[in-house]
Amino acid sequence: MADPTLFSEDIDGWNTVMFLYHSALKEVGTKLEILNDEFRHVHHYNPIEYIKSRVKEPESIVKKLKRHGYETSTENMVNFVNDVAGIRIVCSFTSDIYKLAEMIGRQSDLTVVSVKDYIRHPKESGYKSYHMLVTVPIFMTDRVVDTKVEIQIRTIAMDFWASLEHKIYYKFEGNAPEYISRDLRECAGIVSMLDDKMLQLNNAVADAKEA
């Protein structure tokens, strides 16, 4: 079980911050569901296959803070760990990713803090995904708190690859044997080709319907 006493300087403060992150996930999750429903209503098409959300476990937060040279504190978590609250949107096609990113960016009560496009610029490992860091206002009885949520948007194939990479990373603590890393990069190339081919096929089907 997660141990919040890892941040034992202020348990009440920890609980309040966790409340904010959970609330932010609810807010953003509801917005995404509404966007998906609207898109389906207007365009008769559903861009989102599924959505996953999570709040990072205290142990993972501590590891990330230490990895970047920060002391373990709730304040440092809020200031320097941007993915405490995370939502992953999984789509069928790469074109859906950019449509959704644009729709999210137009939300008047969300502020886009930063964007990292690992689809056009993959990581060295082969990782591909579209990351948006946003803040959403959480209205409490005595104040409004802008709370960070990291949104990751990727295709089903990208998500499958990233899931395996995650397992490998933790199995070998970030130091996987070269032959495994090489094979993983090769799989990333296959995933990209598959996504491109599936998009071409989907576009061909759409064109055939219009003909």
Catalytic positions, please?
150
Each residue's pLDDT expressed in tens, for the chain with a length of 211 residues? 345 555 555 667 788 999 999 999 999 999 999 999 988 888 788 889 999 999 999 999 998 999 999 998 889 999 999 999 999 999 999 999 999 999 999 999 999 999 999 999 999 999 999 999 999 999 999 899 999 999 999 999 999 999 999 899 888 877 889 999 999 999 999 999 999 999 999 999 888 877 6
Helix, strand and coil percent figures for the chain, each rounded to 5: 55, 20, 25
Question: Identity (one letter) of the amino acid at 207?
Answer: D
CATH 3.30.460.10 fits 4-157, yes or no: yes
Tokens of 154: 């990727």
d(CA 114, CA 61): 20
* Contacting residues for 73 by C-beta, under 8 A, at least 6 apart: 7, 9
Phi, psi of 89 (to 5 degrees): -105, 125
Residue with tokens 């060295």: 124
For 100, the token pair is: 């959704």
Q: How far apart are CA 88 and CA 154, in angstroms?
A: 8
- What are the boundaries of each domain within the chain? 4-157
Measure the CA–CA gap between 14 and 73, rounded to whole angstroms: 9
pLDDT confidence of residue 121: 96
Cα distance between residue 36 and residue 107, in whole Å: 13
Q: Strands of 48-55's sheet, edge to edge?
A: 48-55, 85-91, 144-155, 130-139, 111-117
